[in-house]
Amino acid sequence: MKCRLYRFVTSPVMFSTLEDGKIVRGLAGVPGEGPVLLVGYHMLLGLELVPLVEEFLREKNVLVRGMAHPLLFTPKSESQSKEFSFFDMLKVYGATPVGASNLFKLLSVKSHILLYPGGAREALHRKGEAYKLFWPDQPEFVRMAARFGATIVPFGAIGEDDLAELVVDYNDLMRIPVVNDYVRKSNQDGSRLRTEMGGEIANQDFYPPGLLPKIPGRFYYLFGKPIQTKGRELMLKDKENARELYSQIKSEVEQNIAFLIKKREEDPYRSIVDRTVYQATSASMHNVPTFEP
């Protein structure tokens, strides 16, 4: 019931890119056979996750296996609520702790894998950082994907700023002494990733953001043209070649985000008000019209 309500509120629109570069509505451009690595931008609090996974199940009958922060699988996180929680739902939908060994296992069984190089730093970004990528300098996943001949699909997702405004962020909380101590201790006690890296990507601290709800807009996704690594295993063993492909993937994610931000201005049903009026006269919940790509 909650998922249906969330889908109604966000009315997600999926686009994908065919081999000839044509953008179409739906997921026809994403290969049905794995291994496939979906690499993209992590919206605030991972708001894009549930609609994405549901759409792959509905349209392609594919269970996408998300790589999630290990902290979400700790007993402490699991015991926060006796009810069926969001974290329980992640597990039901196939999420697994992020890490090289788990990525290896999923690639070896030809899964469709959802990977966010920006991790918690993107999903818990600060004010003014929406749609900004925080990726590591090193091409962590490219060479492993090439080892299995995986297809890499870069994607962008937007809509968080049409659902809520971030009014209290990590920096705000760190200025409050008691809250500062609580956040720091909570993160010290939990699993930590990328602590050896420099720059913003190393700041993977979890914190409870303060959000101000808006009259809902809409979520948009664009899956780019699939990038084949099959047959390029030897070439991508070279660090420089792997780094170039990594930069290409990152650039395409940024381009997809920019495309969606621009094109959503043309969507006559971006507002939930307009969509509700449309749905009152239509039997379909999944095919509310949108802009032409």
Q: Region 132-143: what's the mean pLDDT?
A: 90
How high is the mean pLDDT of the chain?
Answer: 88
DSSP-assigned letters across all residues of the chain: -HHHHHHHHH--EEEEE-TTS-EEESSTTS-SSS-EEEEE---GGGTTHHHHHHHIIIII---EEEEE-GGGGSHHHHTT-SS--HHHHHHHTT-EE-SHHHHHHHHHTT-EEEE-TTHHHHHT--TT-TT-----SS-TTHHHHHHTTPEEEEEEEE-GGGTEEEEE-HHHHTTSHHHHHHHHHHHHHS----TTS-SGGG-------EEEE-S----EEEE---EE-TT-HHHHTSHHHHHHHHHHHHHHHHHHHHHHHHHGGG-TT-SHHHHHHHHHT-S-SS-------
pLDDT > 70? residue 76: no
Question: Regarding predicted confidence, which is higher, 141 or 74?
Answer: 141
pLDDT band at 122 (very low <50, low <70, confident <90, very high): very high
Domain ranges of the chain: 2-161+215-280
pLDDT digits (tens, 9 = 90+) for 181-210: 888 887 776 555 555 555 666 677 888 999
Q: 2-161+215-280 has which CATH code?
A: 3.40.1130
The predicted pLDDT at position 44 comes to: 95
pLDDT > 90? residue 17: yes
Q: Region 69-79: what's the mean pLDDT?
A: 56
pLDDT band at 10 (very low <50, low <70, confident <90, very high): very high
